[in-house]
Amino acid sequence: MGGRARIGIVGATGAVGTVTLDLLADRGYQDVRAFASARSAGGRVPFGDEELLVEEATPEALAAGDVDLFLFSVGTSASRALVPVAAAAGAVCVDKSSAYRLVDGYPLVVPEVNGARALDALERDRIVANPNCCTIPLTCVLRPLHDAAGLARVRVSTYQSVSGAGAQRMTALTAERPQDHDLVMDWTWEGDESDEEAKLRAETRKILELPDLPVSATCVRVPVLVGHSEAVWVELERPLTPEEATALLREAPSVRVLDLPEVPTPQAAAGADDVLVGRVRRDGASANGLALYLSCDNLRKGAALNAIQIAELLLAAVAPAAG
């Protein structure tokens, strides 16, 4: 199938869907259709030098069996309604909502970290979940450190841009007066932590296959348009110097280490494919402790790009059968 795959983008008018279309056009995909709700059906969205007609994502349209792969970025309740219909019609589905991420049996995949897991979906109902936009860069960085010295404990504080909350929030920030900018915690409270903090812990454990890993997170929304950043404190089971950790991260796929005086920023990360990592240093507050800082484009590697990479793994695996 590969570049000839028939692809449907569901949520094509949204923050993630728009970037997905850009990335697919850049990668040379041609047979691409755009779907959204009835609100924007009939409109048009840019696709490379062309425009695509936006179709309404009705269950009937997604069940027609004329699409090989659907990339969903529509929100949890719409995903719960639409993804099973598309999958039952034979399409491979990559879902970016939290509908399937933590459900047993559904692969939750960062290709550089646990890519082989994606193929499990081909033995089941062809649905793969794409993780949260903070979990993806975090696991890209944790994987090589764990492989080298064993993770004992992780603490993380996030600085998340408004695009993580969708296109409307980007428009609202653009219209806001600078003196009204604030740092907020605009998630749902689950006891004394937000659902975002709980997701970051549970998804990290699932992807790394470390079900008991202690992870403590504080998630904060900052008045930045695109690019999430994270301060990370890692406690390891065995000693690892900052120099050794830096060398491992330089070799890690989709990770780019910045050396002082350069530090990761959302501006530097926006539009880039890599997770930017810097300030790798000893954390004197814990045994075998390291501290580091990262920034990542939440709409690209944090969402659209990661999902396309999952899709390309799946398309490559089904290509012989399809061909």
Ligand X SMILES: NC(=O)c1ccc[n+]([C@@H]2O[C@H](COP(=O)([O-])OP(=O)(O)OC[C@H]3O[C@@H](n4cnc5c(N)ncnc54)[C@H](OP(=O)(O)O)[C@@H]3O)[C@@H](O)[C@H]2O)c1
Closest C-alpha among 276, 35, 237, 258 to residue 148: 237
Identity at 222, one-letter amino acid code: V
Instruction: Choose the catalytic residue: 93, 146, 228, 296.
Output: 228
Nearer to ligand X, 20 or 240 (CB): 20
The smaller minimum CB distance to ligand X, of residues 132 and 280, is found at: 132
Q: How far is the CB of 244 from ligand X (least distance, A)?
A: 32
Q: Which is nearer to ligand X, 74 or 141 (CB)?
A: 74
Could you tell me where the DSSP H helices lie in 177-304? 195-208, 242-251, 266-269
What is the smallest separation between the CB atom of 123 and ligand X, expressed in angstroms?
25
Q: What percent helix, strand, coil does the chain show, rounded to 5?
A: 40, 25, 35
User: Is 59 or 65 the residue whose CB approaches ligand X more closely?
Assistant: 59
Smaller CB separation from ligand X, 11 or 137: 11
User: Residue 153 CB: number of other CB atoms within 10 A?
Assistant: 17
CA distance 25 to 124: 30
CB of 289 to ligand X, least distance (A): 29
Opening angle at CA 199, ends 110 and 125, nearest 5 = 55
Are the beta carbons of 70 and 101 closer than 8 angstroms? Answer: no
Of 133, 134, 140, 219, the catalytic one is 133
Query: In the numeric block, which tokens belong to residue 71?
Result: 């990339």
Q: What is the 3-state secondary structure (H, E, C) of 296-307?
A: ECCCHHHHHHHH
Looking at the DSSP bridge assignments, the partners of residue 290 are: 234, 282
What minimum distance in Å lies between the beta carbon of 208 and ligand X? 19
Q: Cα–Cα distances in Å, from 109 out to 97, 239, 306?
A: 13, 29, 8
Query: What is the nearest approach in angstroms of ligand X to the Cβ of residue 302?
Result: 5
Which sign, positive or negative, has the C-alpha torsion 251, 227, 292, 142? negative
Give the interface with ligand X as residue ranges (CB under 6 A). 11-17, 36-37, 39-40, 57, 73-76, 78, 96-97, 133, 163-164, 166-167, 298-299, 302-303
> How wide is the angle at C-alpha 215 spanned by C-alphas 209 and 220, nearest 5°?
125
Residue 2 CB, nearest approach to ligand X (Å): 25
Is the CB of 54 or the CB of 240 nearer to ligand X? Answer: 54
Distance, in Å, from the CA atom of 193 to the CA atom of 175, rounded to the nearest integer, reads 30
Instruction: Please confirm, yes or no, whether 146 is among the known catalytic residues.
Output: no
Show which residues are catalytic. 133, 228
